[in-house]
Structure 1
Amino acid sequence: MNTFFEEIIDNEQGNRPTEHKYRKLTALTERLALELTRDFAAEFTSMTGRIYALCKATGYEHRTLALFRKNALRVAQGTYHPSEEDYRYDLKAVCEAVAFLTREPIPERLNALLPDHWRPWPDKTEYQEFVKRIRITVTAWDEDFVYGTDQEHPDGEDIRARYRQEDGAFDGLAEGLYEGAQLNLLSVYFTEEEGKRTACPKLLVLDPDFLIDITAICQCFKPYGTHALNHLINKFMPAPRSAALQLGNLANQFLDACVHDNGQEEKSEEECYREALLQSFETSPIEYTTLPDINQAFFEQAKKQFHHIREVVRHKFTAEDIDIEKQDVQLEPSFLCEALGLQGRLDLLVNDSSKIVELKSGRTEEYPQIRPKAEHALQMALYKEILYYNMDVPHDAVQTYLLYSRYPLLYHIRHSNTELRQALALRNQIVALERLLRNGHSQEIINRLDENMLVDPVMRNSKFYQQYLRKDLMGVVGRLKGMQEVEAEYFHTFLAFMEREQFLSKIGDDQPDSGRGFAEIWNQDTATKQSNGNILIDLKPEPLFDEQGAVTGMNLEMPDYEEDFLPNFRAGDSVLLYERNSEQDSAINKQIFRCQIEEMGTRIIKVRLAFKQKNAQVFQLQSHYALEPGYADSSYAQAYRGLYSLLLAPAERRALILGQRKPETDPHIKLNSTFPNPETEQIVRQAKQAKDYFLLVGPPGTGKTSVALKAMVEEFIRETPKQNLLLMAYTNRAVDEICQMLEGLDERPEYVRIGQELNCEKVYRNRLIKYKIREAQNRKQIFDLLEPVQIFVGTISSMAGKSELFELKRFDTAIVDEASQVLEPQLLPLLCATTSLPDPNYRNNPCAIRKFILIGDHKQLPAVVLQKPERSEVRSEQLRAIGLTNCRNSLFERLHSLQQLLHTEKDTVAWLHRQGRMHEELSEFVNHSFYNRQLGLVPLPHQTGTLDIPYEGTNPWMKMAARKRMEFIPVVPTEPSENNKVNREEAAVTGNIVEALYRLHEKEKDWNPARQIGIIVPFRGQIAMIRKELAARRLEGYENITIDTVERYQGSQRDVILFSTTIRQPYQLDVLSTPVLTEGQWIDRKLNVAITRARKQFFMTGNPHLLERSPSYSQLLDYIRKRNPQMPS
């Protein structure tokens, strides 16, 4: 019997609630589809499309499963209460599908529960003449019509929808269609054509779960022409840096100030202007300091625009025909619109959604007459549609205004249906383009790029295009088309890889029970999201005000959730807040407020609004609210620009990264300092002598940050002339550790941290740049304050987003900690950055970073990658020859591999060989299995001593905890569970071990369970279950014991580590264990990290029958059994 039938039988045991049964069956069918489509070349933008493709490929009728899924969704939403007979029909649908798809008959005991026949097939669906929206799964199309299954009525006939209509807006839709595609039909009228019922939608939206930002659509409108391929070119254009862009940001600051001025008539306009300018100055100090075209003319234009905005807000807004009162507006409201496949943020919205105002600081269209630019007017039209499809606000109830603050002009905008349809058609073309890119067709697309395709014939020979636009456009096109050999292979391979990553982050990955993917916000039911910890509901809001009375944040009071619920949120997280009073309320039919969690308490969550609100009535205090995870495309935008920056990098740097030249060293360079440890001194010497890059491999406990990085910094800051250092890490937590290291230096250096305040430990916030330059009143003072600073610190993402820093500072050395957790494209924006600052010491090299040092361990946790390893594997022989075998590997790992291939590692690679964390008995397995016996001891006293814990009693848990260094406790669940990510039996065993440790150590003076005990689990649900067990034992201070996933534990250590493997089903082994072949050894990185967090003892619980299916865990269990023959199997 296969495991799917076993789970179904288990689901039928006991008297379980119907909604639970449906939830388990839904998860099972999705997992079945994931498993059976694992090798499909096609991709899927929804689970519905995946199941359709599976059924199509196997010849199974998909409608029975589709009807089951529809019913399951209605049950989850509380809108359907099936009878026992109805449930049995749905159970039959699942069982028949499993039997057919796995080629295994339904077990007799299960078959006895099923009806002998199928449910009566419903009558043909009769649609009303007008339907607001229908989602179909595409099954076929021809020159005029698209056909598909209505997801609301999957048991009916396919819908026939006309896409080719009189205005021709959607004529190109067929080019992006594929079987299983999701298609929204919006504002649908049904007619009879040729005797057939035909849907005539106003709008068609391809793959609507793949949200496109409205700004991205508008940016495809260029002065020289409108084309979806402009979206491709925009990906690679360097992040815009100009006075005009800064003026646009400043104008938004002015609008905010004028709306929030609280009628302070006693202040002069000059005072208000200076206050607003200073706020902008504090937000963007480096931009103001480094942009060359911010001059007197800039500030004159800024003052003029402030005056215009102030006058409009004070007088035009309140005019009878406009009627906008400041106290009735919201600033920067955000919306997610699944119907249109769009997301966007407005500048200003009146509370009742009757008026929208969008601010533009630039020019209007001036020829042949002054009028709004087409893309600006289009932006307003799309916002209006969002209000209609999300909030049911009628079109004629919304007035839209464009405020051009340069003039000022306040346009009342209207648009035609054809223009709107053309905009949505452009959105569909972008979605189709993205699909081609992630499937590896970028080279074909780029080869077809030319001026005739991109530039309107009318514009091609115009003086304006030739003089001002052509150089930049054709410069990008020419460089893309001019790529050669290795750089072309590298560029196209990584572009497809990052496109797939972005796609999966939006839509969801193909891991069972994952819950990842932004679209899960509207595609998953609340119960499933709660089981993953990805939603907080029934929150009671309390607004927090600033001195001017504006709402800057909220205290959100949590209700009493179920005892095993644990939210997957932390301080610093970006989140979405929206009003939610019923199961029908969601982030796609409510306005969302983008926030960041400031504090995460046990009862209160404090959030900071991204945009403060003048009007507290925006928040309905009698309502309940919900929080869900936020999402941003910014990291992917950085990666795409990073790939293009490689093409623009100086030839020497490009050749270095692509393995076309060997890194250079200078053996004549001497140290300024001496170090007590010879190994450390040799490493610092090698790092200093490296002219291009240096790699330091630091296995667990070897002191990568506390010893090696510290020694490098001490040496480099003593150099004459002074050297500038850029210190980075992947996570904010690791950056905090770098700050801790800097604060502990004997000669404490001056340093500045780049990043957001809420992502920085409070003790280091005074080092943030905004506090460093707080007293500066002008750009010169900022420069004078930052010029003597040698060290800048931040995450890789924060630094990549601050490219203007390189016009203020050139860095002699960049050191990246946690480098083995960083994907190559994430580092390229930094390593390929250039600067206009002179560098007479280094042959005027334009690189902003002269050399880089990468510190990491490719045998510990790698970068987080959503796609399967086989999907990211590199097949190009040219790329494999430079060490690039899989795109999921870090640059650190590739360069390490490359140095081995070139036999140059003795100069550019060093290992830390001595660890000071694990006792020698604990390190033996890791040393042998993962490090080829290259890992020695420091040794410290705790590493070689005996386990001297006195205990003569009979309690088996205390006896084990007193005598065993490493032990496995087999736990085979005897009771079925509603959640495979929770294991009550293992939680109880873990509680017994923790209690035993308490009893053994609680009389010791230095006993501190929070510092000495750590618990690692693979799933967040198990955290709550273990906390419950500890609470039941009333152990003092138990709540301070860290229980977390292995990903969160990297970089930490405890005297005793307890590892609850938790898994209940074979499919979960992929979450627990993903071995990779590294340097001739199969390395289980997660297991390596889990074991190596322990200093003195390591205890693991789990089901041996499951764990032994994994080679890594089987090897570990054999090792423990040999050391302890009495260990039960």
Structure 2
Amino acid sequence: MARRLTEAESASLLNEVGQIEQALATSSLERCRLLDEILRASYTLATDDELQTFASVASRQVYVHQALGVPPNLAVALEKLRTWLYRTVRQRIEYPHAQLQPAFALIGQWLKWHQGATGADLDALPLPDESTPDEPTALRIVARERSAIHLDSGAEIPVIHGTIEASNLPVALQLHRRWRQLAAAIRQGTVLGVIAPRWLSPDTAACTDTTLVILEPDVLLDVTTVAECFTGSTNTHLRVLLQMLSMDTPSAATVVGSVVNACFDELLADPEVEPSRAIERALRARYLDVLVAVQHGLLSLEQVEQDVGIHLDVLRRVIPHLRGQATTEPMFIAPRYGVQGRIDVLLEDRERPAYKTIIELKSGAPPTQLQRMVSQSGTHITVGMRPNHLMQIAGYNLLLDAAFPGCQGTSQILYSRSAEEPLRNAPNLHDFKADFLAMRNKIVAMYHDLAHRRFRALDQLATLDAAEAPPVDRQKLQQWQQAFGSLDEQERLYLYAFIAFAFHEWITTMVGSPLRNGGYSSLWRSAIEEKSEELRSLTFLRFDPDASNCERGFLTFRFTERTPPVHPFRTGDIAVLYQHDALLRGGDTIAGQVFKCTVRSLGRDHIVLSLRNKLFDRRLFASEGFWALDPDVLSIGIESMVRACGQFALAPRERRQLLLGNIAPRSQPLAVPRPARLTDLQYELLSRCLAAQDYFLLEGPPGTGKTSTMLRSIVDHLLSDPREVILCTALTNRAVDEICSALEHLWNDGLLLRLGSLHATEHDALSFAQAAQTQDFAELALQLQRARVIVATVPYLNANLHLFSLIAPTTAIVDEASQLLEPHLLALAVRVERMVMIGDVCQLPAVVQQDERGCRVQHPLLEAIGVERLDRSLFERLLRLAKRNRWTHAYGRLTEQARMHHLVARFPGTQFYGTTFRSMHRWQDEEPDKLPIEALPLLLRHRLVFVDTPREPASGYNCAEAQIAAACARALAHRMTNRSLSEAIGIITPFRKQIRTIAELLGDLSQEVTIDTVERFQGSERDHIIVSCAINSRQHLRLIESLTELDGRTIDRKLNVALTRARHQVIIIGNRQLLELSPHYAALIGFIEQHGIITNAAAATQELTPFLTTDEHHAHHRH
């Protein structure tokens, strides 16, 4: 529900408006940016208890105005102001200060309205006109309400009333024909993309036969996802949900199909390629599927080669007849139509650049007779292909319509199993593209319903007559219905809750949230300059052909003067590469193709990317234009979380009840030999852990040796039992590689095997993927059978659940379990006999995109099993239950740490863990309370330092703080001897603008000193940690906190992680008045006052003068 701001909230924002109004020394652009932030914050606060997701600030604003009954003149003025501020900030327009006064007055009036004021006259604010052409041919509408036109025939025409997003002009859209049924899915704030409407008047449009309507166009679906809903006899969006809840085992047909596709790509690149070598390479690329299919007796390798050979004969005959330059698997993103996808082959004519030909390869059997297809509008055609293949082509044509407006060409399905008629034309007809989008809209509406806890689709799936389902789905449907029917009310509520959470998370990942910017949609909705300014992308890159290896798809890009010095990328990150020019046509289009890739390496002046598609069109990289790189958040997906919920439903009831917490975990005491390296406490916890028969929860605070000591000891003992097969896992490749390092003593005897993608690990000798490139499949199968310790990431396991038909782990050890959402572990938890979860609920949890409201649930049956917040880990929920039920045999905490000096460790130990950590090394207690480095400035000799800095009229950065942080780092670095700076000094700050400010002040030193957010620091440590809080208002305080309640104590997990990264020293820099509004920072500052030193910015600056920058550019840094 939307709500009015409280008196305190509106007063706080009014105070900030007043400060900005008085800050005449600040640029008008920065003042506009701050006003925009306050306006956004007001709508975020007004919807902080609203479950609904919003595709844009405009849709959130419209919803609030409608829900709260904001006076029309005030609402219209505020909507115009939002558009004006957005354009001003995006285009970096500097207005005279006097011209901003109406904006200050209007925001003030808006905030006073929340306090009960009825307001002054708000007519005729002198803001620039933001109108659009009188009759736009394409527009985005933010819906306000629905009505209907009643025809004489008794029929109703739904009418959607709303505003044009770009101009705030009112509009009414009549939903005629196939778009009528869409009305039920439209609510306040829904965004509609409308293409080619017929304008009946300046503010009324109607759908015609040529109109296309796209529900929430920023929510992208894969073309194949939509196309697979068309089966001919039964076309239903429920197929998507059923596929997500089910699990497929690789069949002979899927293996052969993937091999044929890979060989086709190679034949296009080199028609003379030797078939047997191409087949072998293709098999090795899908080695896991091959091993599973062979294990299940579904195929033999000899038969695969024979079957593929038949297809290759057909392909060799077809390829000479394909005209044009071939690009294999080009990727396109079309937010104009709400879809994305990869086309098998795109043929382009050099003489006719606008002419494009789509070739979609299908290795399955073609229909034996012509198929008659009928669209919703009655158009019928006769084609020689299956319905889903025709609709797949319709979706691909939409991709080309968006990427290459006005393009022409043909589309063909290539049936490689058909020797007589392999190429079959697929007509490019508007009606079938409209049907495709109508199905897409149904799927998106279903996703939104599930995200907002409306479970009609699940109920329909549970009661659907299997006879009405496509034959290929009947067994899956019956299996799901049987499993779903066996759930009791509590289990069903649990399933509903996490399915809703998964869909809500995915939609928020797409469209963004107030605290996490624009989500994936910022890829096309934000301009290059905006991305550069906000440091969300790596922009203004130049391709370096001489340093690239195009044969292997390794491309090098050089940074230029305009490339941001700070960016969000690390080695191994997944990203999207595209040309700057691709975004020049507006906010709903990406011209041309994009490239999915992985960051292979990063240097001071370059980045190396590994393209997913190695057979790309090299001509695209021949131009002199700039390139940009955005994070590819879609790799997260919802499929694994929803599939895990399905796996939970299919599990035996006893296992479900155990995981819910209705059954106490069992324990059987064992006589455990004591390893020499363990302390008394570690040995006690090891014994309790090994006694657990179902699960054990080991809390490992920072520096307590949970991986290097405890995990290794658990594995070593379990290996003494020949029955045990151990699966070690964690969230990230880095964490899994640390597990491998802890088990280094097992490397040489074949006991340990590292699973993952080819370049996922730094331990190549352990990599199963590396072995799969050279060893024969029989030997690979033996390797899996012989391995006693399997190590892999949780995402890899969830993406390859069929792996469990090859291995049968008895015990799973999950490291960093508190960073994994509950659905992440469900599919694993139902497959193993015992789980040991190691984590720390006082450190940062899993990253969640959705707002807090989407994470909260309230129901007595869920509260009984500790399900109150869906963003908690399974580890945390079971730990809370175990403590509540006094299952002391099922959990334990390490309290001896080997990282921090005792003075550094004392505050987080008592404040967040309720204990005093014991030191494991003599130096931690015996080194003096001041650093033994006499050459340091006196301020920096203290192990605990707080520098009080003034507020600044800025958002996301504070120049005074940055100067002091950089000077501290430079002073410490100046005294370093025989110590890598990257291991010695870390600077933590919550905002990327502050990271940039500090990096520019440090100059070359920034390449050696890590400057990043606290989330990026989790799991690492440094000798000296400098924390720059960079908050300038009360509203920013919540951005640097991560609060939770544990054992009756409220803790700040972000602050805990920041403090516990340090071995020897912590320096906190920030505004004391603001920080002390937080009880945790207030307590910390009080602790530093007793045991360290507190000073102000002026005194610190004076003492650090030799290490301050004198560069005028940095002294007057502008953002």
Contact 1:140–1:146 (8 Å) recurs in 2:
yes
What residue is the counterpart of 1:772 in the other structure? 771
What residue is the counterpart of 1:598 in the other structure? 600
What residue is the counterpart of 1:59 in the other structure? 70
Residues 607-649 of structure 1: per-residue CA shift (max 9 Å, x gap) = 1111013531133422221111113255421111111101111
1:502 aligns with 2:509: no
Q: How far apart in 1 are the matches of 2:733 and 2:1062?
A: 23
What residue is the counterpart of 1:292 in the other structure? 297
1:908 aligns with 2:890: yes
Match of 1:477 among 481, 490, 515: 481
What residue is the counterpart of 1:427 in the other structure? 440
Match of 1:487 among 468, 485, 491: 491
Residues 908-927 of structure 1: per-residue CA shift (max 9 Å, x gap) = 21221211222222222222
Write out aligned runs for 1:632-651 (5 A): 632=634, 635-651=637-653
Write out aligned runs for 1:905-984 (5 A): 905=888, 907-933=889-915, 935-947=917-929, 949=931, 958-962=937-941, 964-973=942-951, 975-977=952-954, 980-984=955-959
Write out aligned runs for 1:222-237 (5 A): 222=231, 225-237=234-246
Q: How far apart in 2 are the matches of 1:34 and 1:103?
A: 19
Contact 2:276–2:305 (8 Å) recurs in 1:
no
Write out aligned runs for 1:728-767 (5 A): 728-743=729-744, 750-761=751-762, 764-767=763-766
Q: How far apart in 2 are the matches of 1:692 and 1:817?
A: 17
What residue is the counterpart of 1:839 in the other structure? none
Query: Structure 1 residues 477 and 1123 mapped into 2: Cα distance closer, same or farther (>3 Å)?
Result: same
What residue is the counterpart of 1:174 in the other structure? 183
What residue is the counterpart of 1:6 in the other structure? 16
What residue is the counterpart of 1:841 in the other structure? none
What residue is the counterpart of 2:416 in the other structure? 405
1:1065 aligns with 2:1033: yes
Q: How far apart in 2 are the matches of 1:546 and 1:154?
A: 45
Write out aligned runs for 1:1038-1117 (5 A): 1039-1117=1007-1085
Contact 1:486–1:658 (8 Å) recurs in 2:
no
Match of 1:989 among 964, 974, 985: 964
What code does the residue aligned with 1:1067 have? Q
1:892 CA drift (Å): 0.8
Q: How far apart in 2 are the matches of 1:197 and 1:170?
A: 13
What residue is the counterpart of 1:310 in the other structure? 316
What residue is the counterpart of 1:344 in the other structure? 341
Query: Structure 1 residues 23 and 410 mapped into 2: Cα distance closer, same or farther (>3 Å)?
Result: farther
Q: How far apart in 1 are the matches of 2:675 and 2:765?
A: 30
Q: How far apart in 2 are the matches of 1:515 and 1:121?
A: 25
Write out aligned runs for 1:22-171 (5 A): 22-56=32-66, 57-61=68-72, 62-75=75-88, 78=91, 94=107, 96-101=109-114, 117-119=124-126, 127-128=134-135, 131-142=137-148, 143-151=156-164, 154=167, 156=169, 158-165=170-177, 169-171=178-180
Residues 568-591 of structure 1: per-residue CA shift (max 9 Å, x gap) = 111111111112148625762332
1:687 CA drift (Å): 2.4
1:219 CA drift (Å): 2.4
Query: Structure 1 residues 968 and 306 mapped into 2: Cα distance closer, same or farther (>3 Å)?
Result: same
1:117 CA drift (Å): 4.3
Residues 385-435 of structure 1: per-residue CA shift (max 9 Å, x gap) = 2222342134xx121111111215211111543332222111111111111
Residues 719-775 of structure 1: per-residue CA shift (max 9 Å, x gap) = 1426322111112221121122122569876422222344433xx133221222333
What residue is the counterpart of 1:801 in the other structure? 799
Query: Structure 1 residues 812 and 2 mapped into 2: Cα distance closer, same or farther (>3 Å)?
Result: closer
1:944 CA drift (Å): 3.4
Q: How far apart in 2 are the matches of 1:127 and 1:676?
A: 77
Q: How far apart in 2 are the matches of 1:668 and 1:23?
A: 64
RMSD over aligned Cα atoms? 3.3
What code does the residue aligned with 2:40 have? E
Q: How far apart in 2 are the matches of 1:625 and 1:537?
A: 6
Contact 2:898–2:919 (8 Å) recurs in 1:
yes
What code does the residue aligned with 2:269 have? H
What code does the residue aligned with 1:164 have? H
Write out aligned runs for 1:708-727 (5 A): 708-717=710-719, 719-721=720-722, 723-727=724-728
Residues 690-723 of structure 1: per-residue CA shift (max 9 Å, x gap) = 2211111111111111111111122222x14263
What code does the residue aligned with 1:504 have? T
Q: How far apart in 2 are the matches of 1:967 and 1:87?
A: 40
Q: How far apart in 2 are the matches of 1:745 and 1:478?
A: 44
Secondary structure of 2:638's aligned partner: helix
What code does the residue aligned with 1:1030 have? L
1:345 CA drift (Å): 1.4
Identity among equivalent pairs (%): 26
What code does the residue aligned with 1:497 have? F
Write out aligned runs for 1:527-566 (5 A): 527-543=529-545, 550=551, 552-561=553-562, 565-566=565-566
Residues 856-893 of structure 1: per-residue CA shift (max 9 Å, x gap) = 11111111122344442232222222233321111111
- When normalised by structure 1's length, the TM-score is 0.87
- The gaps in structure 1 that reach 5 residues or longer are 318-323, 834-848
Contact 1:1014–1:1041 (8 Å) recurs in 2:
yes
1:971 CA drift (Å): 0.9
Contact 1:253–1:280 (8 Å) recurs in 2:
no
What residue is the counterpart of 1:843 in the other structure? none
What code does the residue aligned with 1:1022 have? Q
Secondary structure of 1:776's aligned partner: coil
What residue is the counterpart of 1:840 in the other structure? none
Contact 2:601–2:607 (8 Å) recurs in 1:
yes
Residues 348-399 of structure 1: per-residue CA shift (max 9 Å, x gap) = 11244511111111123346768211111111112112222342134xx121
Q: How far apart in 2 are the matches of 1:418 and 1:621?
A: 37
1:656 CA drift (Å): 1.4
Write out aligned runs for 1:485-884 (5 A): 485-511=489-515, 514-515=516-517, 517-543=519-545, 550=551, 552-561=553-562, 565-581=565-581, 584=584, 588-613=590-615, 615-632=617-634, 635-668=637-670, 670-671=672-673, 675-717=677-719, 719-721=720-722, 723-743=724-744, 750-761=751-762, 764-777=763-776, 779-833=777-831, 849-884=832-867
1:1089 CA drift (Å): 1.2
Q: How far apart in 1 are the matches of 2:1044 and 2:812?
A: 29
What residue is the counterpart of 2:199 in the other structure? 190
Q: How far apart in 1 are the matches of 2:260 and 2:281?
A: 10
What residue is the counterpart of 1:245 in the other structure? 254
Q: How far apart in 1 are the matches of 2:122 and 2:657?
A: 68
* Higher deviation after alignment, 1017-1026 or 502-511: 1017-1026
Query: Structure 1 residues 25 and 748 mapped into 2: Cα distance closer, same or farther (>3 Å)?
Result: farther
How many pairs align? 1055
What code does the residue aligned with 1:342 have? V
Contact 2:404–2:592 (8 Å) recurs in 1:
yes
Secondary structure of 1:1059's aligned partner: strand
Q: How far apart in 2 are the matches of 1:79 and 1:163?
A: 38
Contact 1:4–1:28 (8 Å) recurs in 2:
no
What code does the residue aligned with 1:441 have? R
1:1019 CA drift (Å): 1.9
Query: Structure 1 residues 735 and 161 mapped into 2: Cα distance closer, same or farther (>3 Å)?
Result: same
Secondary structure of 1:632's aligned partner: helix
Secondary structure of 1:654's aligned partner: helix
Q: How far apart in 2 are the matches of 1:446 and 1:909?
A: 36
